[in-house]
Amino acid sequence: MRAQMENDLRLESSLWVGNKRYLAVLTGWHLKWTEADKKNRDKKAVSVPVAEVVGVEEGRVEILPHKSVEDTDRDFTVFYVKRSSSRSSSGLLWRLGRTQFTCPSRVLRDQWTRHIRTALKTHSPLRPHRLMVFINPFGGKKKGRQIYHSQVAPLFELAGISSHVIVTERANQARDHLLKKDLTGFDGVVCVGGDGMFSELLHGVIGRTQQEAGLCENDPAVTLQQCPLHIGIIPAGSTDCVCYATVGVIDPVTSALHIVIGDSQPLDVCSVHYGPGQVKYSVSLVGYGFYGDVLAESEKHRWMGPFRYDYSGAVVFLSNRSYRGTVQYLPADPLMSSPRDKTRCLSGCGVCSKSTEKLFTNSSDEGSLYSSYSGPFSNESEDDWVSVDGRFKCVSLTCMSSSCAKSPLGLSPSAHLADGTGDLILVWDTNPLGFLTYLYRHTTSQDQFDLPFVEVHRVKAVRFSLASEGEEAEDNGGLNIGMDGEDGGYNGSTSRAGSKQNLATRPEGQTKTSKDKTLNPFMCGLCCRKAPTASVWNCDGEILPFPKIFCKIHGQLVRLYARGIEDGASLKDCAEERLECNRTCSLPR
Ligand SMILES: Nc1ncnc2c1ncn2[C@@H]1O[C@H](COP(=O)(O)OP(=O)(O)OP(=O)(O)O)[C@@H](O)[C@H]1O
Ligand SMILES: CCCCCCCCCCCCC/C=C/[C@@H](O)[C@H](CO)NC(C)=O
Ligand SMILES: [Ca+2]
């Protein structure tokens, strides 16, 4: 059947590109053209997977930066994905490649365009035909509209995608639209903005899917239904962490091309249950302590634009806070992978593919992806939970590496996009220099987990609650100085929650005295106020002012128009220094 289709689509002709003659061959999977010299010996050859052909047009056509069409009888123009490596990021930049072919006759030209279009339909079933696009005109540097109209819309038009564009007028408009309005006929939704806009789409798409399935998303016991609508991200925000961690570059053209060719990347999602029966979703960071405080501080300075995070980071760092609490987690299967295994989740990741088989019972059947998910944990008991009690600088949970321009390897460099787990990072209270070392290592290829006051666990679920008032009063608000070890390092232990050996594992050396305070050069008056006893949660850039939460990772709950990070030159540098590639398939597909 497949061979028959392959044969029907096959086309082979001698065509001209400029003033050179080429042998052009279209099979079901590739379009290849090979330069032929006078003796017909092969010279230069270009091969483009059909899956990466963007479109074909009659005549001599140009799209970017401006559209121009010369309507000639014997010419056709093929547009496709062309890679160029970029040293400043971890992935590869994609550009629109273009080749103009001249045929000996109009009949042959029409045969070529027809065959290429049929091949696209046959081999790229996930290419979108209709998209709903939400533009946040105020995200990042406020260039969302311009980015969409100049760099993205022409590509959508070339690929024959019809888009319904909504420029938002208020926060949560995109989310509400997805929850309430008619979405019939749309293949996917796209946001032009930052992580906050992505989060709106995430909530809208997940909420809508559960509504339609008659499921109560607020109930932590419910196994959520996979979302059929794909999400595309055109980066135009401040951090653009989700885009960076799933594509490897912050580049609107690259992201638009991933959408156009219908790439599909499953993504783990963490549901965060808080307050009286409420839920939020996160893919990049559920963070308490430092990251919560930075977000709360940065919201006061939105007018600064993307710089607000640097400013607030410095303010919060200088205030040197830490918080007491109890963290409980359900460990993931250690045989599958580990956050310290120094691998990296790249396009075609083997760990994620193995997880697909585990997460979905009939993974060989594509249609079953949305129906037979077995849930993040069905067999575990209370005895499987591990409980940790102490004073923390920050507690972070991330479903993916959360790499971004500031931290090219991310919060957890070996985390996976679609393995059904998250990485829980506990940074125990330490002195300012120690914590600065931890933060600084995010910006380099040094291992931020190789510090005595940091631990990381691959998990399926997490609970957090504040210390009781008595415990908190006992050791509130102190400061240390000096590097790790005796003064601030962690030497606590953990216990199984269910085994009731429990808790009280406060790291030694963290008793705060007034003498410590007088020694601290970072005080600058900021700490003279009584330190707050509770922080807030940062849920992908949104503040959750409820300390007590329950988080559960839902493997591959949504799908993005992306394919994970492609191995680029700069990534190779990282790999040589510290990380090994665990990709199982070679690209392009
Ligand atoms: N028209 C609008 N007016 C005000 N706020 C909006 C509007 N449209 C969307 N928003 C909200 O603005 C918030 C921030 O937007 P966005 O994420 O696009 O940019 P950012 O905050 O600069 O980037 P990042 O989230 O990557 O740091 C989002 O949470 C979104 O809910
Ligand atoms: C001395 C240098 C210190 C530099 C510290 C760099 C630490 C970078 C860590 C970045 C983690 C980003 C995680 C992403 C979070 C997003 O969900 C969220 C929304 O955009 N962004 C923020 C900043 O909260
Ligand atoms: Ca994951």
Annotated active-site residue in 75, 187, 195, 251:
195
Among 113, 135, 99, residue whose Cα is nearest residue 234: 135
- Ligand 3 centroid to Cα of residue 60, in Å, is 45
Q: What is the CATH number of the domain that holds 25?
A: 2.30.29.30
Q: Which residues does 340 contact at the CB level (< 8 Å), separation at least 6? A: 414, 449, 456
Within a domain: 583: no
- Ligand 3 centroid to Cα of residue 523, in Å, is 38
Query: How much is the average pLDDT of 22-39?
Result: 87
Query: How much is the average pLDDT of 143-159?
Result: 97
Provide the H-helix boundaries in 381-538.
432-441, 469-474, 485-488, 514-519
CB 517 within 8 A of CB 478: yes
Top pLDDT among 561 and 588 is at 561
- Above 70 in pLDDT, residue 581? no
Q: Are residues 394 and 437 in the same domain?
A: yes
Q: In the beta sheet, which residues pair with residue 391?
A: 324
Residue ending a domain, among 234, 263, 292, is 263
Q: Are residues 86 and 151 in the same domain?
A: no
CB 357 within 8 A of CB 302: no
Within a domain: 580: no
Q: What is the CA radius of gyration of the chain?
A: 26
Look at residue 211 in the predicted model and tell me its pLDDT. Answer: 97
Residue 225: DSSP 8-state: P
Query: How much is the average pLDDT of 209-216?
Result: 97
Neighbours of 171 (CB within 10 A): 13
- Ligand 1 centroid to Cα of residue 168, in Å, is 10
Number of domains in the chain: 3
- Above 50 in pLDDT, residue 458? yes
Look at residue 584 in the predicted model and tell me its pLDDT. Answer: 35
Within a domain: 502: yes
Supply 368's token pair.
């079953």
Within a domain: 581: no
Look at residue 90 in the predicted model and tell me its pLDDT. Answer: 75
Within a domain: 222: yes
Q: In the beta sheet, which residues pair with residue 558?
A: 267
Q: Are residues 346 and 479 in the same domain?
A: yes
**How do residues 363-414 score in pLDDT, each as one tens digit?**
444 333 333 344 445 567 888 999 999 999 999 999 999 999 999 999 999 9
Query: How much is the average pLDDT of 30-53?
Result: 84
Look at residue 372 in the predicted model and tell me its pLDDT. Answer: 38
Look at residue 583 in the predicted model and tell me its pLDDT. Answer: 37
Look at residue 2 in the predicted model and tell me its pLDDT. Answer: 58
Look at residue 405 in the predicted model and tell me its pLDDT. Answer: 92
Query: How much is the average pLDDT of 283-308?
Result: 93
Print the domain residue range for 38.
2-123
Look at residue 529 in the predicted model and tell me its pLDDT. Answer: 52
Among 567, 65, 51, residue whose Cα is nearest residue 258: 51
Exposure of 103 by Cβ count < 10 A (0-12 exposed, 13-18 middle, 19+ buried)?
buried
Atom 8 (ligand 2) nearest CA: 407
ipTM: 0.96
Query: How much is the average pLDDT of 30-58?
Result: 86
**The pairing of beta strand 343-344 with beta strand 60-62:** unpaired
Q: What is the CATH number of the domain that holds 499?
A: 2.60.200.40
Global pTM value: 0.87
Look at residue 588 in the predicted model and tell me its pLDDT. Answer: 33
- Long-range contact list for 372-380, CB < 8 A, 24+ apart? 373/223, 373/225, 373/226, 373/555, 373/556, 374/223, 375/223, 376/223, 376/420, 376/460, 376/461, 376/552, 376/553, 376/554, 376/555, 377/330, 377/460, 377/461, 377/552, 380/330, 380/460
Closest ligand by atom to 310 CA? 2
**How do residues 489-505 score in pLDDT, each as one tens digit?**
333 444 554 433 333 33
Q: Can you tell me the distance from the alpha carbon of 151 to that of 21, in angstroms, rounded to the nearest whole number?
A: 33
**How do residues 239-271 score in pLDDT, each as one tens digit?**
899 999 999 999 999 999 999 999 999 999 999
Report which residue type is found at 167: V
CB 552 within 8 A of CB 305: no
Q: Are residues 144 and 275 in the same domain?
A: no
**How do residues 523-537 score in pLDDT, each as one tens digit?**
333 444 567 789 999
Q: Are residues 136 and 107 in the same domain?
A: no
Q: Are residues 256 and 146 in the same domain?
A: yes
User: Does residue 239's CB lie within 6 angstroms of at least one atom of ligand 1?
Assistant: yes
Q: What is the DSSP string of 325-364?
A: EEEEEEE--TTT--TTS-EE--TTBHHHHHHHHHHBTTTT
**How do residues 331-361 score in pLDDT, each as one tens digit?**
999 999 999 999 999 999 999 999 887 777 6
Ligand 1 atom nearest 137 alpha carbon: 1
- Ligand 2 centroid to Cα of residue 9, in Å, is 49
Query: How much is the average pLDDT of 473-481?
Result: 41
The verdict on whether 71 is a catalytic residue reads: no
Atom 10 (ligand 1) nearest CA: 171
**Could you tell me what percent of the chain has a pLDDT over 70?**
79
Within a domain: 326: yes
Within a domain: 565: no
Ligand 2 atom nearest 540 alpha carbon: 17
Average pLDDT taken over every residue of the chain: 84
Report which residue type is found at 447: D
Q: What is the CATH number of the domain that holds 153?
A: 3.40.50.10330
- Above 70 in pLDDT, residue 538? yes
Q: Can you tell me the distance from the alpha carbon of 395 to that of 290, in angstroms, rounded to the nearest whole number?
A: 8
Residue ending a domain, among 263, 282, 298, is 263
Look at residue 535 in the predicted model and tell me its pLDDT. Answer: 95
Neighbours of 515 (CB within 10 A): 8
Q: Are residues 168 and 71 in the same domain?
A: no
Q: Are residues 84 and 113 in the same domain?
A: yes
Atom 10 (ligand 2) nearest CA: 407
Dihedral sign of CA atoms 12, 156, 192, 539 in order? negative
Residues with CB under 5 A from ligand 3 (ion): 268, 399, 416, 419
Look at residue 7 in the predicted model and tell me its pLDDT. Answer: 67
Look at residue 379 in the predicted model and tell me its pLDDT. Answer: 63
Q: Are residues 109 and 137 in the same domain?
A: no
Phi, psi of 341 (to 5 degrees): -85, 0
Q: Are residues 410 and 514 in the same domain?
A: yes
Q: Three-class SS of residue 440?
A: helix
- Above 50 in pLDDT, residue 147? yes
Q: In the beta sheet, which residues pair with residue 232?
A: 190
Q: Are residues 291 and 385 in the same domain?
A: yes
Q: Which residues does 565 contact at the CB level (< 8 Å), separation at least 6? A: 90, 91, 245, 246, 247, 248, 344, 345, 346, 347, 571
Q: How far apart are the first and last CA of the chain?
A: 21
Among 507, 493, 358, residue whose Cα is nearest residue 421: 358
Among 531, 493, 502, residue whose Cα is nearest residue 323: 531
Helix (H) or strand (E) segment spanning residue 123 = helix 106-123
Average the pLDDT over each of 194-203, 301-310, 331-340, 481-490 and give the range with the smallest value.
481-490
Look at residue 44 in the predicted model and tell me its pLDDT. Answer: 83
User: Does residue 204's CB lie within 6 angstroms of at least one atom of ligand 1?
Assistant: no
For the CA atoms of 549, 550, 555, 559, the dihedral, rounded to the nearest 10 degrees, stands at -30
Residue ending a domain, among 106, 123, 140, is 123
- C-alpha distances in angstroms, 393 versus 18, 318, 323, 453, 479? 63, 12, 6, 10, 11
Q: Are residues 92 and 132 in the same domain?
A: no
**The pairing of beta strand 188-193 with beta strand 130-135:** parallel
Within a domain: 582: no
Please tell me the total number of residues recorded for the chain in this structure.
589
Average the pLDDT over each of 155-164, 378-387, 565-574 and give the range with the smallest value.
565-574
